[in-house]
Amino acid sequence: MKLVRHGDVGDEKPGLIDAEGGLRDLSGILRDISGAALATTSLERLRAIDPETLPLLPAETRLGPCVGGTRNFIAIGLNYTDHAAEIGADIPAEPIVFNKAPSCISGPNDRVILPKGSAKTDWEVELAIVIGARASYVHANEALSYVAGLCLCNDVSEREFQMERGGTWTKGKGCPTFGPLGPWLVTLDEIPDPSALDLWLDVNGERMQSGSTSTMIFGVAQIVAYLSHFMMLEPGDVITTGTPPGVGMARKPPRFLKSGDVVTLGITGLGEQRQEIVAFDDWTAKVAAGEPTH
């Protein structure tokens, strides 16, 4: 299944994508794509529904982040061999773990706001894991049973905040709008091999990133099992798993996002995103004028 959340910011409702690509409303059946709705038994009930019986929504309906109620947004750094090589980093012996603020989560096609004082905002196309069941001390061979599905993530990053301001990476990772998720939460039955997915990202139509999950150092099951030994993973938690080569900071000379840029990205079977980049002052002016902020 391809599950979605649709509607205005902060008031998203559940839905799914039918076989013809139509957006169907699930709000008469389900409260949200979150919490207990992500359990295996709940997903099986949804899978049994005939999408043709659900209301069809207009194609232009806004899509929100594909999972709601996320309390923990975890990220893995330097998880692609070819990305580590491009920045001259050693292959990590264990996953590098940091957090993105859940408040940074946004819809797949919402604007990305450059923070105040930002000079080095960068892009990162990533595969993200959505947890479906509470996981603690699980083994890799059972880890996928705790996963509700996978989705596309842009791990937007302010490199100066992240790397030049001391402390942890988190400061450059959790600014508002720095976590677009979706368009879809895709259940694992539609993804035969998470280690064989192509990823890409363009800026203003120019290809910047092109890679494959086949070069991930730690795979989906390994990451879930590893994290479960350090924290309790809860339904709705999101884990974004690292990026392939082609980030702006690794280019020669480095290239970073500026107001007016348009970023598009995608992963095989998980859909595509599109984000317009907006400077903080321009965004606040839009808010003051009563314009839509997404």
Q: Where are the domains of the chain?
A: 66-289
Which pLDDT score, from 0 to 100, does residue 287 have? 64
List, for residues 178-201, the tens digit of each pLDDT value.
999 999 999 999 998 999 999 999
- Nearest-angstrom CA–CA distance, 138 and 136: 6
The structure tokens 């030049």 sit at 164
- Nearest-angstrom CA–CA distance, 25 and 53: 10
The structure tokens 């479960």 sit at 228
Which pLDDT score, from 0 to 100, does residue 248 have? 97
Residues in the chain: 294
Across the range 200-206, mean pLDDT stands at: 98
List, for residues 233-246, the tens digit of each pLDDT value.
999 999 999 999 99
Query: Residue 17 — pLDDT band, cuts 50, 70, 90?
Result: very high
Helix count and strand count (H, E) for the chain = 5, 18
Query: Residue 168 — pLDDT band, cuts 50, 70, 90?
Result: confident
Name the average pLDDT for the chain. 95
Across the range 264-284, mean pLDDT stands at: 93
CATH topology of domain 66-289: Fumarylacetoacetate hydrolase; domain 2 (3.90.850)
Instruction: Single out the residue of 141, 160, 159, 130 nearest to residue 233, CA to CA.
Output: 130
Distance between start and end Cα atoms, the chain: 26
Residue 288 has pLDDT above 70, yes or no: no
With a CB cutoff of 8 Å and minimum separation 6, the contacts of 237 are: 70, 71, 72, 73, 74, 130, 131
User: Do 280 and 288 meet the contact criterion of CB atoms below 8 Å apart?
Assistant: no
266 forms beta bridges with 200, 272
Residue 152: half-sphere exposure toward Cβ, Cα within 13 Å: 26
Question: pTM of this prediction?
Answer: 0.96
Which of 167-204 are b and which e, b meaning 16 or more Cβ less than 10 Å from the residue's Cβ? Answer: eebebbbbbebbbbbbbbbbbbeebeebeebebbbbbe
User: Do 146 and 135 meet the contact criterion of CB atoms below 8 Å apart?
Assistant: yes
User: Do 148 and 2 meet the contact criterion of CB atoms below 8 Å apart?
Assistant: no
User: Do 114 and 278 meet the contact criterion of CB atoms below 8 Å apart?
Assistant: yes
